[in-house]
Amino acid sequence: LVAPPPAGPLVCIVAQGDPPVLGLLETSDPAAAVNLDYFLAALQVRLHEGREPWFTLDPCPPYDDPRNAFQEKRFVPDWLQGTRTGDVLFQADYHLKELSMGEYD
């Protein structure tokens, strides 16, 4: 990034020039705003791991035992655990699983 974050609460990312250089601009449009913490975490994962960050909440083995109600948090990469980005990925996955099981009609 070529400039420090603007003082305003909402920022957007713009690409200018050829080759493009990323910069930050203040915006009043919430639809254009970017959470820099999430963006930078995703960018770090892409640069160092060559993939997107992800999370899944999966059943623990043995999978065929109906008495096993434990679930395992899986972050990729592992360092996402304990970050705000990892927390948002966990909350989103958990909520989608609730929706798929009819928790909210």
Q: What is the pLDDT of residue 4?
A: 61
CB 35 within 8 A of CB 11: no
Q: What is the pLDDT of residue 7?
A: 55
CB 24 within 8 A of CB 9: no
User: Coil, strand, or helix at residue 83?
Assistant: coil
pLDDT at residue 105 greater than cutoff 90: no
| CA 21/CA 49 separation, integer angstroms | 22
| CA 42/CA 51 separation, integer angstroms | 9
Does this model's pTM top 0.75? no
Question: What are the pLDDT digits (tens) for 32-52?
Answer: 999 999 999 999 999 999 999
Question: What are the pLDDT digits (tens) for 60-104?
Answer: 887 777 777 788 899 999 999 999 999 999 999 999 988 988 877
